[in-house]
Amino acid sequence: MDVRVARFRHPPSPPRPAAPFGCPHWPGCVGCPWVGRPYEDQLASKHHRVVAALAAALPDAVVAAVDPVVPTSEPSGYRVQAKLVVGSVPAGVVLGLYAPGTHRIVDASGCPLHDPLLRRAIPALRAALERERVPIHGQGRTGLRYALLRASVAEERLLVTLVSSRAPLSQATRVARRLRRTVPLAGLLVNENRTSGNVILGARTEAVFGERALRERYGEVVIAAGPTAFVQANTRMAARIYGAIAEAAAVAADTRVVDLYCGVGGIALTLARTAGTVVGVEEVAAAVAAARANAARAGATHVRFVAGRVEEALGGLTEPVDVVTMNPPRKGAGAAVARAVAALAPRRILYLSCHPESFARDAAVLADGGFTLARVRPFDLLPQTEHVEVLGIFVRDSA
């Protein structure tokens, strides 16, 4: 009998999963931890986070007021700004992010979440830095530390800020000249930061080429901002959020609005299109200067901006207020500010937050001050990350 022994063959290895959006840095990059996760699952997790935060801070009856997360139409290519660490490796210059808990820089120069203009500009900037032999900070040397890039969707132009521990940075003019050959450069700035630690920007910024600020359109409002002012990283979704705030505020010609943590004036000027008066309050002096310039360009003479801490400025408000809008930093407004806002007794408070947990804590204080959280609208401002933007609509109980 002819007995043949079959040769054992290992089963074929499963194909390696394709990189989400064709990302050249996946899976080593830490910038977008949810990339590759099904989008509907991302939205569900973000909704659950908002509901859980409110359930922990407020009565369960409030949870029903949480809308589904407003999805984005652009899960990639949406980021209009990049803050990149600059480092030196044997192969040349690297632009990227620190790996968690280390000072090892992970390359992020080809991130598919960046706006297409940034995806063109970052490799061009790296090439210019290498060609001009720009000194890099580190290992006892002074030089370039960070590169900040911001793209305007409306104007398709780019603002670049080089943060350096060496100033002046003599090669910066030649870097700007090289960039202008390949990208529509609105301006190139050099920010001096000689400090140690993790603070990115120093106090002094000089223009090497072009303009100090970049203009962007949010709905019907045009906002110009420099590199030290906060602007949303997703222009298109920010415009939708500002529109949602305007809809919820329902302001009229006699409505008096106070906009807290107003930044460069995006929300204030959106509401100013129909409101009677608007007062914006902001602690960062550069942002206030930009907000005033934006109002002047728009001819919004019924809007004024106050520079100072929100806690102190609230005490100086003597006129009645109909609507309060607020967009505090991640830590939230805090109990003292929330109580002061409630004491103004506006008919409506619109609270925009990037952190559901701090929002929920402040919402509990506003509830104790006589306000009902009538509706919560989450927005997916930064897809592929755990971030969720929350808009809370509060109505005064006696209104």
239-292, pLDDT tens digit by residue?
999 999 999 999 999 999 999 999 999 999 999 999 999 999 999 999 999 999
Query: Which residues of the chain does CATH 3.40.50.150 include?
Result: 234-396
Output the six-digit token pair for 309: 């801490």
Is the N-terminal amide bond of 59 cis, ω within 30° of 0?
A: no
Q: What is the mean pLDDT of residues 333-351?
A: 97
d(CA 306, CA 286): 12
Q: What is the mean pLDDT of residues 177-194?
A: 97
* The predicted structure's pLDDT at residue 12: 58
Cβ-Cβ contacts under 8 Å for 91 (sequence gap 6 or more)? none
111 in catalytic set: no
Query: Which residues of the chain does CATH 2.40.50.1070 include?
Result: 81-211
CA distances from 389 to 172, 204, 273, 316, 353 (A): 37, 31, 24, 30, 6
The band of 29, judged by pLDDT with boundaries at 50, 70 and 90, is: confident
Q: What is the mean pLDDT of residues 371-386?
A: 96
Q: Is 342 exposed, middle or buried (0-12, 13-18, 19+ CB in 10 A)?
A: buried
Q: Is residue 7's pLDDT more than 90?
A: no
Task: Name the least confident of 17-26, 196-205, 236-245, 271-280.
Answer: 17-26
Pick the most confident of 35-39, 64-68, 177-181. Answer: 177-181
Whether domain 234-396 has CATH 1.10.3720.10: no
For residue 393, what is the enclosing H or E element?
A: strand 389-396
d(CA 30, CA 97): 8
Q: Is residue 309's pLDDT more than 70?
A: yes
DSSP class of 317: -
Q: What is the mean pLDDT of residues 337-362?
A: 97
Residue 206 backbone phi and psi in degrees, to 5: -120, 140
Three-state secondary-structure class, residue 287: helix
**Percent of all residues in the chain with a pLDDT value above 70, rounded to a whole number:** 94
Q: For the domain made up of 81-211, give the CATH fold.
A: OB fold (Dihydrolipoamide Acetyltransferase, E2P) (2.40.50)
Q: What is the mean pLDDT of residues 56-61?
A: 82
Residue 265 backbone phi and psi in degrees, to 5: 100, 15
The band of 5, judged by pLDDT with boundaries at 50, 70 and 90, is: very low
**Catalytic pick among 29, 111, 262, 354:** 354
Residue with tokens 């010609």: 253
DSSP class of 391: E
Three-state secondary-structure class, residue 268: helix
DSSP class of 68: P
Q: What is the mean pLDDT of residues 145-172?
A: 97
The band of 144, judged by pLDDT with boundaries at 50, 70 and 90, is: very high
* The predicted structure's pLDDT at residue 232: 93
**In whole numbers, what is the pLDDT of the chain averaged over residues?**
93
- Summarised one tens digit per residue, pLDDT across range 98-142 is 988 888 899 999 999 999 999 999 999 999 999 999 999 988 899
Q: What is the mean pLDDT of residues 30-36?
A: 89
* The predicted structure's pLDDT at residue 198: 83
